[in-house]
Structure 1
Amino acid sequence: MKVTPDRRAPRAVGISSTPEELAGLGPLLLAVEANAEDVPALLALAREINEIVPKPGSGQTARLWEILASVTAVDVAAGRILEPHLDAAAIFDQANAQARTLPFTGTWGVFAAEAPGLKLTARNAGGRTILDGSKPWCSLAAQLDHAIVTAHLDGVGRAAFAVDLHADGVSVADPDWASLGLREVPSGTVHFDSVPAIPLGDTGWYYQRPGFGWGGMGVAACWLGGAVAIARSFEEALQKAADGGREPDQLALAHLGEIDRTLEGLRAYLARTAARIDAGELSGSGSWSEALRVRGSVAAAVERIQALVSQNLGPGPLAFDRRYAKRMADLSLYIRQHHAMRDDAQLGALTFKGDHAW
C-alpha cells in the first residue's frame, strides 16, 4: 500500500540521513513554521538549538546541512536568520583559547562584507582593540546582541573581532530596505566610533581557517533547501491539477524530471563533501576551492529550478499565492550572495594553479 505523506506538515530535506532520522527534525520545523516572519522568536529559536546543532567538521556535517536546508525549505527568511547565528557559534568553536574570554551568549551575526567607500579599521589602544569606521550589509544588526566583524589592520591585512552591538559608539543606520525579498532581514550599515572588540584569531585567520569554506557551504545548504521548497510547490501544483482531471503534459513532466535529477545530484554532492570534511580531507587550503564548487553548483541549480517552475506555473501563483511568491522573492535575493561569474573566476584562478582533482 502506498503511503501518501502529509503535505500539510513541514518536511525535512535529506542529504544522508534515513527517513527515520529526518523525522527527528519535526518539532524544530513545526516551530519554524509557527514563528515564520517573527524575527525575535526565530532568533530565540536559534539560541535554543545552538547547543544541539552539530558544528561543521565535528563528524556530523551532513546533519548540520540537513538542518539548515530543512529550516530554509519551511521558510527561506528563517534559514537566513538562523544560519549566521550558528555560523558565529562555529567560528567561536574554531577560534583560539584567548578568543573564548568572551562567552557566547545572546544572539549573533557575522558581518564580513566590504563595499566601496566604507571601511572598518581596528587599532590597538592601551592593550585594547578599538574599532572605527563602517561595515555594510549587516543583517538584523538592530535586533542582535553581538557580531563577529572583519576589520582592516593598518598595513597587515584583515582580522575578525567579536563586538557588543549594544556598546557605546555603535549606531545602526536605517537600511531603507526596498526589496520585497527577505523583508524580515534588512541589511544596512553599522557605524563604529571607538568601540572595543575582542580579537578572534590572528591576522588573516578568519579567511585562512578551513571553517571559512565550511561556512560558505552551509549557506549553500540553505539555498538547496529553498530550491527543494520551490520544487515541492511545483510537484504539488501538478498533483492538484491532476486531481482535478488535468494531467501534466510532457513538458511539465520533463521539467519535473530535470528538477529531480538536479536535486538528487546536489544531495549526493553535499553528502560526499560533508563526509570529506568530517574525514579531514578538506581541512587545508582546498576547502575554499571546494566551497566555490559547491556554492556555484547549488546557485546555478537554484536559478534553473526557479526558472523552470516559474515558466510552468505562470504568473498566477506569483500574483495570488503569498507563500510561493514570498519564497521566490526571498530565494532570488538570498542567492545573490553568490557572485556568479566572479566566483567562477576566483575558482578558475585556483584551478589554474593546480587546485583540482582532474
Structure 2
Amino acid sequence: MTGPHPDASRTGARTRALLASGALDLPRVGRGATPARWRALASLARDDVSVARLAEAHVDAVQILSEAGRDAPEGRLLGVWAAEGPDGPVRARPHRAGGLELEGRKAFAGGASLVDAALVTVERDGTHVLLLVPLDGVDEARLDRRGWVTPALADTDTAVVDLGGVRVADGAVVGGDRWYLDRPGFWHGAVGPAACWAGAALGLVDHAEGAVGDEPHARAHLGAMRAEAYGMAAALDQAGRGCDDRPGDAEAARARALAVRHLVDRAAGEVQDRLARALGPRPLVGDADVVARDAALRVYRRQCHAERDLEALGRAPRPAGDEGGRS
C-alpha cells in the first residue's frame, strides 16, 4: 500500500477553502435555479478538475441529505461512496451494543483520506440502504490505493477503504430500501459529473484560445472547439430547466441524464481530439497543466457508461418536452 499522492493535501485544502467560503452552497436541484448549479460545477472544473471532483461529490451528498429531510453536518466535507467492487457490497449488521457494524471494503472511495464523512451504500438484511458514515476512525492503514496507478486524478485520493468494524448509530440510515437508487434525485445528480466534464474541457478550450495562431486549419479546429463548448453549455442549461420543470419525474430524469452525459462525453472528447490536431503534441508533452487536465478528463469521462447508457436510453419510453421529443 502506498501513501496519498503528494498533491492530495493541496487538493483537499483547496476544496475545504471553497466549503468554508460558501462557494459550495449551490442551488438545490429542482427549485428553479438548477442551471446555475451545473454552471457552478463547470466553473469549478474549468479552474481545477480534481477540486471539482471532490466538490461535486460533496454537493451531491448535501442534495441527497436534503431530499431525505436531513441537514448536512456543518463544516464537514462529504463524499458519496456508491460504487461496488469485486469484493461485493459492504454489509451492515446490528451490533449487540446498539447501532450497526460494517463489514467489507468499499471500492472507488473518492477523497478517502480527505473527506470527513461519506454517504455509503451498504447491504442490510437483504436490503440496499444508504448510511452517513463518519470517517474519523478510518486511518491510513485501512486505505488501499494499489488499484489507482494512473497519475490522473490521483490527488483526489481514490482508494479501496476497509470499513470492517466501523460502527454507526441507527440514525445513520438515510432513506429505506433502494431509496438512494429509485428517487428522481439519483438521475438529477448524475448530471453533476457531466457538468464537471464540460468544465474540464472548457479549460482545454481556454488553452487553445491563447495558443492557436493564424494557421487556417488550427483556426478551424478552434472554431469547432468553441461550437462544442456552446453545445455543452446549452445541454446543461436545458437539463437544468427540465429538472426544475419536473423535479419529481424519475423517468424523465433518467432519460435526461443519459442523454446529457452522452452529449457532454462526446463533445469533451471532440475538444480533446481537436486540441491535439490544432496544436500537435507540444502541449500534450510539454505543458504540465494541459497534460494533467487532458489525462484527468479522459479518466473522469469514463463515469459515462458509453454504449450501455445509450442502449438504456434507446429502450426507455420516448422522451418528451425538454428532452426534445413530442410533448
Q: Identify the TM-score tier after normalising by the shorter chain.
A: 0.7 to 0.9
Within the candidate set 202, 214, 217, 2:176 is matched to: 202
- Alignment equivalent of 1:71, drawn from 28, 41, 44: 44
Q: Which amino acid aligns with 2:200?
A: G
Aligned twin of 1:334: 300
Residues 28-43 of structure 1 aligned to structure 2 (within 5 Å): 38-43=10-15
Q: Which amino acid aligns with 1:326?
A: A
Provide the residue aligned with 2:215 in structure 1.
Answer: 248
Counterparts in 2 of 1:66-215, with a 5 A limit? Answer: 66-96=39-69, 99-100=70-71, 103-125=73-95, 128-156=99-127, 158-167=128-137, 172-176=142-146, 177-197=148-168, 198-215=172-189
Match of 2:196 in 1: 222
The one-letter amino acid of 2:17's match is L
- Superposition RMSD in Å: 2.4
CA distance, structure 2, for counterparts of residue 172 and residue 36 of structure 1: 17
- Equivalent residue of 1:114, what SS? coil
Q: Write the distance in 2 (CA, Å) between the matches of 1:169 and 1:160.
A: 22
Q: Partner residue of 1:44?
A: 16
Unmatched runs of 5 consecutive residues or more in structure 1: 1-34, 242-246
Matches of 1:122 and 1:347 in 2, distance apart? 33
Q: Note the alpha carbon deviations across 1:255-286, whole angstroms, 9 max, x for none.
A: 22222222212212221221121223563332
Amino acid at match of 1:95: A
Choose 218-227 or 310-319, whichever is displaced more.
310-319
Shift of 1:74: 1.0
Residue identity matched to 1:93? S
Q: Rate the CA distance shift 1:118–1:169 in 2: closer, same or farther, 3 A.
A: farther
Q: Which has the higher contact order (CA 8 A, sep 6+)?
A: 2
CA 155–219 in structure 1, closer or farther in 2 if over 3 Å, else same: same
Q: Which amino acid aligns with 2:181?
A: Y
Contact 1:169 1:193 in 2 (8 A): no
Q: CA deviation at 1:236?
A: 1.3
Distance 1:74 1:133 in 2: 36
Comparing 262-271 with 312-321, which one deviates more in the overlay?
Answer: 262-271
CA separation of 1:130 and 1:286: change in aligned 2, threshold 3 A = farther
- Structure 2: 5+ residue runs without aligned partners? 1-6
The 3-state SS of whatever aligns with 2:151 is coil
User: Secondary structure of 2:149's match?
Assistant: coil
Say if 2:311 is the partner of 1:345: yes
In structure 1, what is the Cα distance between the partners aligned to 2:215 and 2:8? 32
Deviation at 1:124, TM superposition (A): 3.4
Corresponding residue number in structure 1 for 2:4: none
Contact 1:85 1:109 in 2 (8 A): yes
